[in-house]
A and B are shown apart, each in its own frame.
Chain A
Amino acid sequence: MAIETALKPASPGHRRTRHQNRNSVRKAGGRLWIKIAVTFLLVIEVYPLIWMFLTSLKSNSDYLNNSTWSLPTTWEWGNYTEAWTTGNIGLYVQNSLLAVVPALALILLLGTAAGFALQIMVWKGRSLTLLVFLAGMMVPPQMILLPLFTVYFQAGLSGTLWPLILTYTGTGLPLTVFMMATYYRTVPRELFEAATLDGAGILRAFWTISVPMVRNALLTVGLVQFFFIWNDLLIALTFTNSQDLRTIQVGLLNFTGDFGATQYGPLFAAICINVFGTLVIYLFLNQKVMKGLTSGAVKG
């Protein structure tokens, strides 16, 4: 190359075309490479879910005897009713909702109020209190299970969904308080001073002025906590000691042992039911979910 240029002093124009040529060759090669990468990505992300859905519609003999790639020979939608009723998935979903909804309401209510008290209200020791809440994010849940188990047992709460609701609320609070306090940072304090001058109490101002102002944040934090609680296995596994109390995750885990051990179609249907719940939420609110989950990570 060096000799070449020394021998014939190429015109600048000539050199540029050659350079451009090489660049465009590399670019085309690059584009192909990227297409392959994206295709591969799509296949590994989407195919397992499609496969799962197709398998959920197969009959047992179809599943056992035909290739794993094949479409269902008959579309067995009955697998879903089978999973829902005989496999008890309906009951498990109901239990999950009964535990998640109250816990979520408590987390949001208490967390927002605490976030307000820690960020808008002015008092000594509030940054220390926030740190105390933050410390809770460092503690692995394994650390609190055994004492809680003892307390719930002695209080006669085992056999109800209360242990789940209370534990979810307690473990959900640190992140919620922290995120809400961060959101309140964008709300000017003067607003509340002005409001209270007009005669409204600060508690009223919290509820009627501040809560509507952070309702977007409430949705974001609510979604984050919903996925944490809905997908939780450890706490649910610890505190659900009877089959009637199982949440969807515990139920699905035991499904393989109880009934799904030989009923493959219903087993896949049960997995699908579990996945579709989150899929529906994700379809409508994916941008909020992505923003919420990642902002929780950055701040945590």
Chain B
Amino acid sequence: MHRVLGDRRAIMILLGPALLVYTLIMLVPTVWSLGYSFTKGNSIDGFTGNGLANFTRLFSDQAVHDALWFTVKYAVLVTVGQVIAGYLLALLYVFFLKKASALIRTLVFFPVVLPTVAVGLLFQKFFQVAPQTGPVNSLLNSFGLESIDFFGSAGSAFWVLVSMDIWRSMGFYAVLLFAGLVDIPDEVLESARLDGASGLRLIRHIVLPLSLPVLMSSLIFSINGTLKVFDSVVALTNGGPGTGTTPLTLYMFQTSFTYSEYGYGSTIALLLTVVCLLVSLAVYRVSRRDITEG
């Protein structure tokens, strides 16, 4: 019966091209990049073996420590912010706006598809002090407060970055979590209401536990994306002031293409990959335990 569907030649024709392109563009370079970690040089000057020098440098490089810390700090804050903001929006959609939520849902989702570069430049101008006082500082001024040079210090630039990325993606998590909330059967909510649960108690004891699985998958998805943050930083601050807002991805990019150190760049890329894998694994294990126990 399955003879036609097991036709080897047809399988090769259908799968072959995709597998070939995928192997050449993704798999081979990944392994190749591992090899680069043990060399120094670049594609123009050629490569020479370098042993473990890149790795010892990686561990003692203050810039790597700073970039890694920045990446983790950013990823944790934005992930938590995105998912909480998204969850609050989803609750608003489901329990308060109900049928009327479609328009708001669509509107709040829109920034998700906007080019990050455009959003970055927009926020840069929105928060600027000079040459023109931007809307945020104008608002501060109208309350009698002094303008803040948001991009003058790493601390305030970081907060603009975090708010920008939460602004950009909360609509996405809202729709994702909305789908999870809509899946909660009406009977469950109804019977909980009859038992006297309402408002916050209903949300805390019934809705929250039931939406835990979709919250967890949002967290995993979000942390995976935020650890790889690049576009937002490049467009908003380009890592500055100084190297105050430089994540690993940008440090890797600068090392490789500004300073043409491909070997060391590959080592940083490897660190990034390992961090992503470890974090996903950790979140995955924690979420598994939570779901089975809860």
Contact = CB atoms under 8 A, between A and B. Distances in A.
B107 interface: yes
B172 to A, nearest CB: 7
A261 B140 CA distance: 25
Given A139-B26, A166-B25, A271-B121, A196 B113 contact: no
B45 to A, nearest CB: 11
Contacts of A47: 135
Contacts of A106: 21
Interface stretch (A8-16, A38-46, A76-84): A38-46
Contact of A233 (B111, B235, B252): B235
B140 to A, nearest CB: 12
Given A45-B107, A140-B272, A144-B25, 9 more contacts: A41-B104, A48-B123, A51-B135, A122-B6, A123-B6, A140-B228, A145-B256, A173-B18, A256-B121
A68 B116 CA distance: 23
B13 to A, nearest CB: 6
A232 B234 CA distance: 12
Contacts, number: 266
A270 to B, nearest CB: 9
A196 B172 CA distance: 43
Interface in B84-131: 89, 92, 96-97, 104-118, 121-123, 125-126, 131
A249 interface: yes
A30 to B, nearest CB: 8
Contact of A142 (B112, B122, B123, B252): B252
B44 interface: yes
B117 A167 contact: no
22 contacts: A45-B111, A69-B138, A110-B17, A123-B6, A129-B19, A138-B224, A141-B228, A146-B43, A148-B25, A169-B25, A170-B25, A173-B21, A173-B22, A177-B18, A202-B4, A202-B10, A231-B231, A233-B235, A234-B230, A252-B121, A253-B235, A278-B113
A237 B258 CA distance: 12
Contacts of A271: 118, 121-122
B249 A253 contact: no
Contact of A278 (B25, B114, B167, B228): B114
Contact of B30 (A133, A139, A230, A279): A139
B117 A147 contact: no
A201 B28 CA distance: 34
Interface residues of A, number: 99
Interface string A267-284: 110010011001101100
Nearest to A65: B132
A149 B224 CA distance: 25
A174 B176 contact: no
Nearest to A46: B107
A63 interface: yes
Which are the 4 A-B pairs with shortest beta-carbon distances? A170-B25, A114-B18, A150-B43, A144-B29
From A48, A67, A171, A232, residue with most partner B Cβ within 10 Å: A48
B122 A48 contact: yes
A248 interface: yes
A177 B18 CA distance: 9
B194 interface: no
Interface string A23-47: 0000000100010011001101111
Interface in B166-213: 167, 171-172, 175-176, 179
Contact of B270 (A123, A143, A167): A143
Contacts of B227: 140
B160 interface: no
Nearest to A241: B257
B11 A275 contact: no
Interface string B1-44: 11011111011011101110110111111101100100000011
Contacts of A177: 18, 22
A133 B172 contact: no
B159 to A, nearest CB: 15
A298 interface: yes
B22 A147 contact: no
A237 B19 CA distance: 26
Given A121-B10, A252-B118, A286-B106, A67 B138 contact: yes
A294 interface: yes
Contacts of A278: 113-115
Contacts of B243: none
A193 B1 contact: yes
A39 B202 CA distance: 25
Nearest to A158: B43
B170 to A, nearest CB: 10
Contact of A170 (B26, B107, B175): B26
Contacts of B118: 252, 271, 274-275
A207 B138 CA distance: 59
Interface string B219-261: 0010010011011001100000000000001001100110000
Given A114-B14, A136-B26, A146 B5 contact: no
A180 B225 CA distance: 22
Given A64-B132, A249-B117, A121 B122 contact: no
